[in-house]
Every structure is written in structure tokens, then in C-alpha cells.
A and B are shown apart, each in its own frame.
Chain A
Amino acid sequence: MDLRYSAQHRALQEEARTFIQKHRHLSPKTGGGRKRPDARALDWQKLLLERGYFARNIPREYGGFGRPVDIMELAIIAEEFSNAGVSPGIMNQGISMLVPTLLEVGTKEQCVRWIGPTIRGDIIWCQGYSEPGSGSDLAAAKTSARVEAGQFVINGQKIWTSSAHYADMMFLLCRTEFDKSKHDGLSYLLVPMNAPGIEVRPLVTMTGRAEFNETFFTDVRVPTDQIVMGRGDGWHVANVTLKYERMLLGDANKLTYRLARAVELMKKTTLDGCRFIDIPEYRERLLKLQGEVMASKYHGLRLMTEQAKGEDSGVKRLIVKLNGTMIAYRLSSLVVDVLGAAGLAYEPVGEAAEDDEATTWQIDNMYDIGLIIGGGSSNIQKNIIGERGLGLPREPKSAPPAVRA
């Protein structure tokens, strides 16, 4: 155990603080991220990339900063940005999920072509995974891509495609090998969203906003080289992406940041003249969550250390999503309770919604349930933890629904 900062780490911390002090007026608002980055966000992103506060370990030839991996450096940067309440850069599915996937299993050519514009925020990606008939049973995907005249021709439907209404590209899991078994018949394609035959229909969620969509494919054509790994490797690639998605969804930095906001709010908000932080029942909830956030934070550091050493963290990694999304939900629930009746006025659509603190927390609180379900629901996570992590036997094979007489 060695959590000391070396001289080099202290220098980086100092450098980050100076940078934030000097440039914080340029930072876009934190949070949100459910729309296309505006000019302000793109300029901020460019600045972070130039200074190495974003994509720090991605090779220079792919548009990153090219520093060797040092988990302490990443932790320092995340902490300084989070403490200062300035944006750590763009978070989206392309950056957090597709980019690491390409780095892990993509070709050099694909990395050169896609990573740079993705981390700059110029290309926005959406994820084509779930279908109406295959959600938790993701490998049952029916959307098909048949090869005709050197092109994949895609037909079918995807659902829960967040950001499809403004995305430029989709990473798509679809069936290309029709003579192979369920898991071996899938491929992972990269599809431009402006291709003829794609139709995106917004899907309004419980928040009252259209945060995701249904996406329909009718004879959509893409070149056959727009594939990650080979035909039939889609399930493997999809799971590489899911690994990163689940780490993202359980991110402890988000929990730390959110806890800090909850503490601030409870110090300034009062009930009958008494600060919430002074009311034992509310404070106990906050403190209990603080303990859980701390445990998650150090668990994250432990995983980062193991990752840097090239060790397989096994079940320790598999629990991150289940753990993190549940704590996030309980934190936003506490805040919603602190806001109480004063936080019930709710108009979630439009720019005003983004500026209203109570509305944003109410949206977050419901969106947290979406995150508990998305990326493999908590129930599915528990199957994965039990089966892959703990070596428990799988459920017995399919039980078809009973036929009614």
C-alpha cells in the first residue's frame, strides 16, 4: 500500500490546480451529457486534450496525449476536476465504451480513423444492442446483416438507443451468420446514422423526456470492412464493450462528486429553521452513504492497481455496476427527500429544466433507475456475478411459456 504522491504527482496536482484556476470560466456545466456537446463543450474538450487532462493514455497517433498509464495521475486529475466542480470533459458511449473497445480489439486503421474524432466530441456514437425481443438475452438479437455485392444489408429494429437522435454513428450488434449457433452468429458493425433506411423514433421515458429511441433498419447498406474483428466475433466484441460500460456505470468518482453535492445541499437547506445536516435522521442516512461511497472509491483504486499490473480482477470487477448504480440511486433519493415538497414542481423538458436544481435531481433520481436497468439490469448482473464470478451453475435450459388451452 503506497498512496503517497511522488514529486512528479505533486507537480501534476499543482499543474491541474493552476490550470483549473486559470481556465475554469471556460468549463461547460457539469452533469447533463444527454445532448450533443455545444461549441463551449467542444472548445473545453480541445483544451483538455491539448493539456493531457483527457485521453491521457491514448496514443498520440490516435489523437490522445500518449502518456504511459499511471493510475495515480488519472486519480489526481479526476479528483481535482471533481473537487473544483468543473467539467472533466465529455462523457458519452463513444468515448467510454467504443474507444476502449477499439483499443482492445480494433485494427490500427480503425483506431486511427475513429478514436480521434470521437474523443474530440466531433463524432457521437450510439449503441445498437437491445431489441424488443432481446434485452437481457442480448445474444438472441435478430437484426440481420446479409452480405450482398460486397456490402452488409441490415434489416431489423433496435431499442433503448440513447442519443440515436443526434448520433453520427452506431456500434451495432447484429446477426450475420445464420447457420451458426446463437452466440457465434453475431457481428459488431460500425454504421453511419445518416445511411438511407435508418429511421429513429424518440421514446419518452418515465422522466418525461425522450432520452432514448427506437431505431429501425430497412435495407441499410454498409461496406463489409465496417466490422470490428471478424464475422461471428460480435458476441466477444460486445462483451468487451459491456465490460467498459459496466465500469463506467459504477464509476466511484461520480459517487464521490455526488456525495459532496449532497453534503453541501444538506448544509445550506433547512427544515423549520434547522439545517438538514443537523437533523439526526437525515444525517445518519448521509453518513451511511458516505461509508459506502468510501468503500466504493477504494475498491476502485484497488481495481485500477490490479489493472495496471495486468491482473484479472475477476468477481471484484463484476460487482462494480451493481454496487455503483444502487448507491447513486440512494444518494439522489436522499437529495430528493431533502428537497421535499419544495422540489416537486416539475417541468422536465426544455432549457429551463437544466437550470432548475430540483428538476435536475428528480430527473437524475429516475434516470438512476434507468442506469440500474441499462447495460445489463441488476438481476442480470447478479447472474453474471454468480455464474462467471462465483462459479455457480447456470439456470437449466429454456422453459417455453405454457400454452393456454
Chain B
Amino acid sequence: MLKRTALFEEHQRLGGRLIDFGGWELPVQYSGVMDEHQACRNAVGLFDVSHMGEVHVEGPDAEAFLNHLVTNNVAKIAIGQAQYTAMCNEEGGIVDDLIIYRRAEGRYLVVVNASNTDKDFAWMQKIAARFKAQHPDFTLSNESARYTQIAIQGRHAQEVLQKLTSTPLSPIKNYWFAEGTVLDGIPAILARTGYTGEDGFEVYVAWEKGPEVWRALLEAGRERGIKPCGLGARDTLRLEVKYPLYGHELGDTTNPLETGLGWVTKLDKGDFVGRAAIAAAKEQGLKRALVGIKLLERGIPRQGYPVYTPDGATRIGELTSGTQSPSLGMAIGVASIALPHSAIGTRIAVEIRGAKIPAEVIATPFYKRPY
């Protein structure tokens, strides 16, 4: 039996094409990936992301625990601020990427990937059990079933969301949030975060309040051309800004320094799970990098396609993601590639169904919002 979000009936009513996504029955598209993608880029899009996992970490030792658990420096998060980070295993591979919201002193909301929620929570519990020998004063609880999470993304997102809340949204900076209410006093976390490369918010409300908030946002955004967007558009939107996705760019054996997460890996912040392995890999010399590529001839790059030197003689990596970019009208991809071939402008070749297609390493993000 697939799990359903509180918005399942809304997706059915809107004609969403429902698929199995990591055990969740979710819409891959409503009107079409291209149409939804453009609506989000040019106006505003609405996404049900309730499948994401939410974990509460609370208590006087919560900060110390989280700082031991993740790669980024949790001590730097102010109350009301969010931080993107990763959680590693002892070998320095990535268990998951996540966002930590600091709601109050000793009170954190940790948001993890849907299909990883159970694995992540088990890992957090394991590390917590060990950590509690020294710092026992915190609790860990998986509250995923209590939340509906809705992302409203696009240049008109703030204007549309503001119609539902008296909390002033414009003062909320990128990767900050406010706790307020929407509609008739429904408590909500209003976070300026997202996964599309557009301005926008992620809104957390109680599970059962999801449908009325979803419907109100669609209504409030109608004159701005709001469209519900499925997983297909979510993927093309994130890919155009090279946001990593677990199972593509990130995995249990990928070192964060070799897969674009160096900026959230603070080796000098003190010890954390995986630090020794990551530092040792750095000491020995990193071998791979995550790069953006574009094809120079016809084709669509896809995850798993091999990458070669331009003469096709030496395999130097593989695609982690790829698509025809709806915004740019060209075939783009993200590749894990041997470091000596990772400079912008380097010519490479991507093998597609046996043919080696010329390609080039290019600067990312592929798409930059124009406002």
C-alpha cells in the first residue's frame, strides 16, 4: 500500500498523474512537465512536498548533537534561520542532505528526504544513543506524519502567500523563516526556502490543514497564473540550478567534497560523524568533481550514461542527472567526473546508446533567475 499525503484527493481532483515515488503516491504531473515548469519559472507554481520527513530535535544538548551529526556548522544558525547541510556515515558517504530550522533555543526542526526518512531516523537514533553517553539532554522524534508541507515557488510566490497570512513576508530573508498563521489562525512555519531556483516559500502546517491551505493558495494565485506542479517539474527545475538530489548526485558512498557539498562541509568546526574519512580523502587528494555539462550535438543525457574523453578512449565519469532543459532549450546534465577533466570549457563525450556525443563542461547554475 502506497502512502498518501493529506492532499491526495486534491491531486486526483486536479487530474494529477499519480505514480509511486519512494513509496508515496504522488503526482508526476498535472497539465504537463513543460507547462508546469514554465509556470513556476514565469509566474508561480505550487508543490505538495508533504512526503518530506520532519524530525524534531529538542533539549539543551540538541545543538551539540546536531553539530556532531551533520557536516555544516549548526552553531552558526540563529533562531529563525535555516541551514542546508548533509549527514554522513563513518566512511564519509552521504546518508542524506537536509535542512535544519532553528525554532528556539534548543529546538530544531530537521527536514529530510521522503524516501530516506526511516533510514535517516534510524541513523540519527543510532548516533544519538552513542552521543548521549556524554550529552544526554535532548530528544529525537519523527514527526513526519504530523506535517503537510507545501512549496509555493516563483516570482509571484510572496505576493500570493501574503494574501493568506498577516505575517509580513518581505522581511524574511533567503533561508530564514517566520512562525505565524495562515487563513483563519492555522499555525504555520513560513520559510523562504525551496528547490526550484526561484524565490519562494515552503509552508509547514498540520497534516489535516493541508487541503484547505492548498486550495486557498490555488485560489489566491489564480490571477497570477498559479499552477500545481508535480514531481516531473520539480526535477527539471532543481536540475537547471544544479541542486543535488539523493540517489543521483548524493549517495552512501559519495564524499561530500567530491559531489558539490564542500560549501556545507566544515572540517574545522570540530569532530562530526564522517569527518575523519572526509579529511583523509582530502589529504590524499580528491579524485572527482560534480560538474554541469551540455551536449554539443543532439541527444538527451540521462543518469548513468558514461562520460569519456573527447576522443572516446578513456572513461572519466558518468552522468548523475540529465534532461532537456525547458528554460534553456538545450540538453544539460550533471556529471561526476575525474578532477583533471572538470574545468569549465573542457571538452568531453557522453555515451548515449553506444554513440559518443560531444559535450562540454559549463558553468552552473545553468539557469539564473532574472529578478
Q: Are A and B bound to each other?
A: no
User: Interface residues, chain A, CB within 8 Å of chain B?
Assistant: none
